Chains A and B, each alone.
Chain A
């Protein structure tokens, strides 16, 4: 999937992947896609909850080599 920006949260624990994803989205414009990489298994549920509560759509999520990848479309 195409994306406009990538944020690598590998190695970070709760709540940093979410808090820093929010920061990464700050300078993006509506409709742009952010790719987030995380190694925190808790971020799977957290990212979905973040997307639901902030209106940024979670377009796709996948796990590859014990990493979790998320594509968020900025609201």
Chain B
């Protein structure tokens, strides 16, 4: 049986949206799949050495369950984003959900290939020294080469 392949595009940099690419990639790798993730736009934040800056905001996210109803005017107050992030992380920990760092490490250990979009790295004037070292830099053609051979291809 030929090795199955999965190509992901990670475009989001919030805590909730950071999970799907790392969960799917680590699981596919555990199933013996070859996986590549192309990080572009805000997804590039998931390649930073420290993931501590990845946050979640209740703002403009009416579907996010809150312990108490919170008017938008209150959600806008300084510190609310950090508080929501802290609460979400505590909740995740209590439910046995892996940290982003742990999932990313599992991906790297399982040889999931990380490709950073060079165009958006330049656009946001990121330095490659801000990212983990296990990253390749490329463009759409690099992604298409692998995506064209993949069995599953998702834009997240």
Interface residues of A (CB under 8 A from B): 11-16, 18-19, 21-22, 39-40, 50, 53-54
Chain A residues with CB under 8 A of B32: 53-54
Q: Which of B30, B31, B106: most chain A Cβ within 10 A?
A: B30
Does B45 make an interface contact (CB < 8 A)? Answer: no
B36 within 8 A of A: no
Q: Is the CB of A19 within 8 A of B27?
A: yes
Q: Which of B62-70, B72-80, B93-101, B114-122 has 4 or more CB atoms under 8 Å from chain A?
A: B93-101
Are B30 and A15 neighbours in the complex by a CB distance under 8 Å?
yes
Residue of A nearest to B30 (CB): A22
The 4 closest A-B pairs by CB, nearest first: A22-B30, A13-B96, A15-B27, A11-B96
Interface presence of B23 (CB below 8 A):
yes
Answer yes or no: B11 CB below 8 A from chain A CBs. no
In the assembled complex, the CB of B105 is this many whole angstroms from the nearest CB of chain A, namely: 11
Which residues of the other chain, B, contact A21 by a CB distance below 8 angstroms? 30
Instruction: Determine whether the beta carbon of A18 is less than 8 Å from that of B30.
Output: yes
Across the interface, name the chain A residue whose C-beta is closest to B1: A55
What is the CA–CA distance of A60 and B41 in the complex, to the nearest angstrom? 46
| Chain A residues whose CB sits within 8 angstroms of the CB of B98 once the complex forms | 12-13, 15-16
Is B85 on the interface with A (CB-CB < 8 A)? no
Nearest A residue to B95 via CB reads: A13
The answer to whether A54 touches B95 (Cβ under 8 A) is no
Quick check: A19 and B97 within 8 Å, CB to CB? Answer: no
Measured in the bound complex, the distance between the Cα atoms of B102 and A13 in whole Å is: 13
Closest CB-CB distance, B21 to chain A, in whole Å?
12
Q: A53-B32, A54-B32 are in contact. Are A18 and B27 (CB under 8 A)?
A: yes
List the B side residues contacting A22 at CB < 8 Å: 30-31
C-alpha gap A50/B30 in the complex (Å): 8
Q: Which residues of B contact A18 (CB under 8 A)?
A: 27, 30
Verify A50–B31 contact, CB threshold 8 A: yes
